[in-house]
Amino acid sequence: MIALALTLAAPAAWSATFPPVTEAERGVASVEGFPNAPAVVLSKRAELTLRDPSAGESSTLEIHTRTKILTEAGLSRGQVAVSHGPGLRLEGVEGRTLLADGREVPLGADSVFVEQTSRARRSFRTKAVLPAVAVGAILDVRLRLRFDSVFFPEPWSFEEPIPVLHSELRFTAPPGMGVRVEPTRGEAPWTSEPIRTGGRQGARLVMTDLSPPAEEPFGLAGQDLRPQAVVIPVSYVDADGFGVPLLDAWDTVLGTFERRHYGPVRAGNRGLDPLARRLAKAEDPTAAILGYVRDGVATAKTGVLPAPGETLAGILAAGSGSYAAKAILLQELLSRAGIDGTLVWAIDWRDGEPDLGVVNPGWFEKVLVRIDRQGIDGYLDPGDPRLPPFRLAPMQEGTSALLLERSGPRPVTLPTTPAVGSLRRATMELRLGEDGAFGGVGRLALRGHHAWYHLLTHGDGDARSGSWRAWLSDALPEFDVSAVEVEESVRFQRVDVSFRLDQKRSQVLGDEAALRPSLPLGPVRQRYDAPTEARRTPVRISFPDQDEVEMTLSWPPGWELDVAPADLDVRTDVGHGVGSLELGEGGDRLVYRRRFTIHRRTVQPGEPYAALRDLYAEMERHDAQEIVLIHE
Amino acid sequence: MSRWSSAAAASVTLQRGLTLPLGLVLGLVLSAGSAGGATVEQRHIDIEIQGDGSLLETTRLRVRLDTDADVARWTTYRTYLDDNRELEGLEAAILRADGRREAGVAGRDMVEASGSAFHASRRFHLLTFADLGVGDRIVVEQAIRHRPYYPASRVLLHGGEEVVDLKVTVSGADPTTWRHAVSGEVPGLEVEGGPGGVTVSATGLPPRTAPPLAPGGFDARPALRFGWGGDGSWDHVGAWLLGEATGAPKGPSTGGTVADLAAELTSDLGTPRERLETLTRFVQQDIRYLAVEVGEGGYRPSPPPEVLERRWGDCKDKTMLLVDLLAAVGIEARPAYVRSGRGRRLDPAFPSHDAFDHVVVAVPVAQLGAGEGGLDVGGAVADGWLFVDPGQGRGGAGWLHPNVQDQLALVAGAAGSILIRTPSRPHQERRSLVVDLDLDPGGVLAAGDARGTARLELTGELADRLLAELGEAEPSSARESARSLLAGLLPAATLGAVDWFDRSEDRPAGGAPAVEIEADVVIPGLMTGGSSSIRLPAMHGTPDPEILRGRGDPAVLPTRRVDARWRLRLPPDSCPPVARGAEVDNAVGAFRQSLAEEDGVWVVLRTTELRTRWVDRGNLPKLEALALAEHRTQRRRLRLRCPAPE
């Protein structure tokens, strides 16, 4: 039995009564501007108490939220769940429900459940189910968490998915520890007042009347939209009385990483030289070395930290290593082949794009290696088997990264691939049979990021053909797809699929035959439903790309073209759409061509968004048109 | 989610899903590659029924990896465990393609996240085979001790892979209580029964892949079911479920707060039906659905007063609370156990506790004052019982979630239990589109464009889901959700301001949740080809006919009604439309298209009704005929043809 009733009163000193509910809190029945709000957070208070790591003390975070249920839809707020494990330990949870009639129902020990999410990682999830939750009830929940490392500070969000009337973060640090608080980007949106108590110092940050995050479709990462504060320990005084820098500057962080984490990985390099000599003899040493590290050593974990105890010799022997250790292996092998490489800390835009002016190694997702490529930067990803040299995954392209140069860390923006570099091109050659059924052959060519998305993900042999057949069957719902053949190349970032098409009998009418010519890449549907005036945040597109369709269609005597799509030519700063139809001289053949290009990665609200929305609307309207042949 | 989970709750929150009690399915190969791929060269399962009622299950498995995909799928081998299912022995090895044997494969336990429920005891033992390659074989020998709550269990016989040598043996049962059955079709399966046991064997079982619309999970796969206690009757199962088997009575209790509350809630209500409605809505709306499974808690409900006090519970908690509340006002209702989910159904020929994963309330219609006169009590009535699901968030006593419709329900009673099929109610599961268009609107629109209004009416499950989503959204984002739904039915259309309304209280579908979405609309190029034809967007109620062609497996469908009414005002100089009428009406459902002129407006009406959830082989041709008629008719353009001059 893994289920345990959590020890509710763990630290007796902590188990305190909740602050009294004010008349103002009791009186809240709705939230201005949010008439449908299912509940409102009356207050969200966090207290971060940083301890001295040199004394072996761990830090604590105590969170108290007070929520009022406004509608039946808000009843689901009566459950809280928190994940925890060795790095972040849950020490206690308290709760109560205050009913509108004044009754108080405490959270019972038998309503708190602990579920182990990984025995190997010793991670857990605790869920507390508040009792007697009803519309009008006020819920108090208090959690207390403890952690040891202050080196990867987590940002604190003031918001919640429902309106928040009062949100505050108090933090204090022990004497001798230097701390500063930063917004994850932009200007600090909170009011702040300093705290000095018992030799400890810190601040109280307050925000009020917070709306829920916008969370619009196709938007930026949530972290990029929320007001977040990160409390950064910049220094502390060690046991000998010397000041020790922590996260005061990227130089310090890099020095610490080299000394504590990367240096030991490099030091264990037995067996590296002969391997490097062998790989350096390849026609393209860079590709050979990257290929060895990328494919020959499995990637065990992401992030910028190596696993404890990792060495180069160790990961070579195990055939597995962390992203960081693999990057160091790549760097060392390149160095022995005479190629100078620099480690790069890179983020994933889906996790948010923080301001690198805020020193926090926790921002980063993976470690790359940069080399000089005939005067321009070339980036190598040691952990993605779908990427050849000098190609980046779309999640990294155009994002801020940190070059760990010997002269000191340097922020850079990673390069991007233009739209024409990420191409989908469909070529179809179809003929209408005497029976009124379309049939023919097609080819689909994917390049760049579109190829990356599919490379190595469909298995091999029959499994790969089957997977693509399923993909094409979805994209061409009016056809039976057969004779699928696939070729793919990581080196050239390409996937080529050929196939045969036969119209399904349920679509065959005998005297009328219709076809949507944008298939299999269309028809485009409007993704941006929100009117321009309603869109509040930028649209984030995964990567710029271009779709091309060329369809040749012929038909037998007795049939004639009844309906054809009108030409389209829309060009905007965001992208363009072109569609045209050319009728053969004999009147029994046509060629349809269509191109849809999106240039931008980020599209701002207002006019740029309107242009994007209009472009999609035009494409949708164009793609909705059919080619219709009739038999008289 | 507890073993009996709420079908309605599953629909309210997408994250929620129905879970089968995996621990009760023995011998399940829990690799990722359970459907197709690899060759299972040997699968021998030996189950000994012990004197204490526990099972000792030993498995020997040898699998040959034929492709890279097999390697990826079989690198991790999972064994399901819980408090009542312990691993007593495990050995694993790799037989390399070159003949070498590598033993000593290490395993570890991993607890899997379990969605919205608190599955406190579920875990998997993971074996990881390192450096597998094509041509390698993996060998697993394991022993598991299983202590079932009820003396019955089952073994999955064919998960999907090609099986060269299959042998399943069950032994050790008391011959007087032993029973077994094999479900599903497996050509070449040999079943040899004996006193207190059975051996099932086969050689050369081909790989199986489930086609689209196939029944879900274990219900679709061949299995050996067996039991070794009780009298093998539904009465016995019902009695056990009611608590007699465990010695913990869970029957109605009418004292204390439950009775007080029932009296308070119904004090000004006259009829039993009104009291039922009020108490059902109270449990649906005021008791949060939340499932907790700790050990036998998967079967044992919490005491109703406790559920009432804490205001949360799972389906069995809510059911027993409603049963008690009804008893307090003089309505003697019963729990009714069902196997919920569109793709699931129980085997009535083999009574067992694991047939069920949900429980609702059955109310004798006679007690609602409507039985003798045949009055409509408004709700899901079958064989004199009204089925009510307190686990739903909406609908009161007038609507039963489709996951519970057309299912065999065990209406349990201390004096006996009966199996009753719940009714199918497609008329409450409606999707109805009404589009009123002017094809001669003038203004800035081009020839062939149409302007008008569109209204989408949803009732039943779809409305329930939508209301759950819209209820939490702010007005602007709710409108955008509604817009997306309508836009999806009208490709390329430009929608004006979109409004949505909760019409549930208007009861357009007998108490089922109901939503209406409406907007002004412009559809470009509706009339094309020199004003010769009109293509009306299709709205299908039937599946793609291609997946029904030559099909042998049953198909599982949502019972529902889909209709579209297009009202078209044509330009004055246009020719009248000509549409081929279509009508199919058979045991599975019906499709009809009609064209008529009403006061100068041409009305095209398309209606599809699916009446049967589970379409067996015998009815598949009827379903195919229905689907072909609907798809072909909706694909054809509406031709405008002037009469030939005289």
* Three-state SS annotation for B359-384: EEEEEEHHHHCCCCCCCCCCCEEECC
Q: For residues A75 and A73, what is the distance between their CA atoms, to the nearest angstrom? A: 6
Confidence label for A65 from pLDDT (cuts 50, 70 and 90): very high
Q: For residues B353 and B233, what is the distance between their CA atoms, to the nearest angstrom? A: 11
Over residues A147-196, the pLDDT tens digits come to 888 878 888 999 998 999 999 999 999 988 999 998 987 788 999 999 99
Strand pairing class (B560-569; B430-438): parallel
A contacts of B471 (beta carbons < 8 Å): 36, 38, 71-73
Confidence label for A311 from pLDDT (cuts 50, 70 and 90): very high
CA A324 to chain centre: 19
Decide if pLDDT at B174 tops 70: yes
Q: Which residue of A has its CA nearest to B73?
A: A459
Instruction: State the pLDDT at residue B68.
Output: 79
Residue A582: CB atoms within 10 Å: 10
Over residues A578-622, the pLDDT tens digits come to 999 999 999 999 999 999 999 999 999 999 999 999 999 999 989
What letters, b where the CB count within 10 A reaches 16 and e where it falls short, cover A86-98? Answer: eebebbbbbbbbb
**Which residues 6+ apart lie within 8 Å of A243 measured at CB?**
A235, A236, A237
B288/A463 touch (CB, cutoff 8 Å), yes or no:
no
Instruction: State the pLDDT at residue B122.
Output: 63
Burial of B500 (0-12, 13-18, 19+ CB in 10 A): buried
Mean pLDDT of all residues in A462-491: 95
Count of all residues that appear for chain B in the document: 646
Torsion of CA A484, A489, A492, A497, to 10 degrees: 0
Instruction: State the pLDDT at residue A460.
Output: 79
Amino acid present at A218 = F
* pLDDT: which is higher, A115 or B535: B535
Q: How close B185 comes to chain A (CA, Å)?
A: 26
Confidence label for B330 from pLDDT (cuts 50, 70 and 90): very high
Instruction: State the pLDDT at residue B293.
Output: 55
Decide if pLDDT at A369 tops 70: yes
Instruction: State the pLDDT at residue A49.
Output: 93
A contacts of B550 (beta carbons < 8 Å): none
**Which residues 6+ apart lie within 8 Å of B311 measured at CB?**
A131, A132, A133, A134, B286, B287, B288
CB-based contact B493:B526 (threshold 8 Å): no
Instruction: State the pLDDT at residue B81.
Output: 81
Amino acid present at A612 = L
Phi, psi of B223 (to 5 degrees): -145, 150
| Mean pLDDT over the full length of chain B | 83
Among A384, A142, A409, A365, smallest CA distance to A257 is for: A409
Mean pLDDT of all residues in B164-176: 95
Q: Indicate the range of A119-128, A325-334, B320-329, B448-457 predicted with least confidence.
A: A119-128
CB-based contact B518:B499 (threshold 8 Å): yes
A contacts of B311 (beta carbons < 8 Å): 131-134
CA A92 to chain centre: 31
A563 touches chain B (CB under 8 A): yes
Q: Indicate the range of A65-79, A259-273, B1-15, B454-468 predicted with least confidence.
A: B1-15
B contacts of A34 (beta carbons < 8 Å): 474
Instruction: State the pLDDT at residue B14.
Output: 20
Of B484, B492, B632, the CB nearest to A509: B632
**Which residues 6+ apart lie within 8 Å of B268 measured at CB?**
none
What 3-state class would DSSP assign to A299?
A: strand
Over residues A73-103, the pLDDT tens digits come to 888 889 888 888 888 899 999 999 999 988 9
Instruction: State the pLDDT at residue B407.
Output: 93
Q: Which residue of B has its CA nearest to A473?
A: B546
Residue A68: CB atoms within 10 Å: 27
Chain A, 74 to 103: residues with Cβ < 8 Å from chain B are: 75-76, 78-79
Q: For residues A542 and B277, what is the distance between their CA atoms, to the nearest angstrom? A: 50
A118/B120 touch (CB, cutoff 8 Å), yes or no:
no
Q: For residues B95 and B106, what is the distance between their CA atoms, to the nearest angstrom? A: 15
Amino acid present at B263 = A
Over residues B538-570, the pLDDT tens digits come to 999 999 999 999 898 899 999 999 999 999 999
**Which residues 6+ apart lie within 8 Å of A18 measured at CB?**
A64, A66, A94, A96, A140, A142
Q: Which residue of A has its CA nearest to B527?
A: A563
Decide if pLDDT at B527 tops 90: no
Q: For residues B312 and B479, what is the distance between their CA atoms, to the nearest angstrom? A: 31
What 3-state class would DSSP assign to A49?
A: strand
Instruction: State the pLDDT at residue A47.
Output: 95
Burial of B411 (0-12, 13-18, 19+ CB in 10 A): buried
Give the global pTM.
Answer: 0.82
Residue A513: CB atoms within 10 Å: 26
Decide if pLDDT at B251 tops 60: no
Among A553, A476, A470, smallest CA distance to A521 is for: A476
Confidence label for B209 from pLDDT (cuts 50, 70 and 90): confident
Q: Indicate the range of A564-568, B318-322, B422-426, B639-643 predicted with least confidence.
A: B639-643
Confidence label for B222 from pLDDT (cuts 50, 70 and 90): confident
Mean pLDDT of all residues in B322-329: 94
CA angle B264, B268, B272 (to 5 degrees): 90
Instruction: State the pLDDT at residue B375.
Output: 55
Q: For residues B5 and B10, what is the distance between their CA atoms, to the nearest angstrom? A: 8
CB-based contact B543:B551 (threshold 8 Å): no
| Mean pLDDT over the full length of chain A | 90
* pLDDT: which is higher, B642 or B376: B642
CA angle B632, B638, B641 (to 5 degrees): 135
